[in-house]
Amino acid sequence: MRVFLQLSYKGTKFFGWQIQPEQASVQETIEQELTRLNSGKEVKITGCGRTDTGVHASEYFAHFDQTFEMDPAQLKFKLNNMLPQDIAIQAVIPIHDEAHARFDAISRTYHYFIHRDKAPFIYETSWYRPQELDMDSMNRACLLLMDHKDFECFSKVHTDVENFDCNIMHAAWIRSEKGYIFTITANRFLRNMVRAIVGTMIGVGEGKLSLEEFQAILDSKNRSEAGQSVPARGLFLAGIRYPYIE
């Protein structure tokens, strides 16, 4: 029986979702506990996508084929007792055998958090940056993003993707009680894309980059033209939509 795991994790202590040689990853941590539940027989899971070192997920999905007897409520309870505090299983969802956590996703949403006052209790989940930003200009830059398709300028170089096209459905900045939150939703994202977008938009918010220059960066298809990537700690994968999960 194929099962979807809906989960969340704090990425601070992990070298991303995907298994890394001799480094702690979220994927490997969950696989180890599922293998224990399967009497030592290896269980492999497939995630909805990669997250880089230090990036968090408030909502993430992964699938695996369950070969051992255990109902969803029991599996959720046992996994949560076995996994470290940094990982929480929110739901165990039986699904049809052809369902795929990565390829079936309709859209993905990310949040990026910035706090303006020094705050030790959120340091690992938000970027401390005290400077004021021009929200109106940054949101006008968001409109340019949503009117664009090829995002090679924001992609990590030397990746193995076939194309750099993404359909951005929503992008916006809002003020929060602590600072700023950027939200972006698209059908797919390139590696390092969101952090590169935020880093470039910071230049717009500081008045160092005009909207015309921002558009020129989009058109350039050149990563070196865009701004620096912001720190991983402020980035959250926040939502995944599937056609068969409400």
- State how far the Cα of 228 lies from the Cα of 246, in Å rounded to an integer: 36
Comparing C-alpha atoms, which of 16, 10, 41 is closest to residue 28?
Answer: 16
Q: Strand, coil or helix: what is 117? A: coil
Comparing C-alpha atoms, which of 245, 246, 209, 207 is closest to residue 227?
Answer: 209
Tokens representing 191 are 């590696």
Q: Strand, coil or helix: what is 165? A: strand
CB-based contacts of 40, cutoff 8 Å, min separation 6: none
Q: Which amino acid, 210?
A: S
- State how far the Cα of 49 lies from the Cα of 101, in Å rounded to an integer: 8
**Identified catalytic residue from 52, 97, 117, 147:** 52
- State how far the Cα of 161 lies from the Cα of 150, in Å rounded to an integer: 12
Distance of alpha carbon 203 from the chain centroid: 22
Tokens representing 137 are 């200009």
Known catalytic membership, residue 86: no
Q: Given phi > 0 = left and psi -120 to 50 = alpha, else beta, which region is 97?
A: alpha
CB-based contacts of 79, cutoff 8 Å, min separation 6: 5, 30, 33, 34, 37, 89, 92
Which residues have a catalytic role annotated? 52
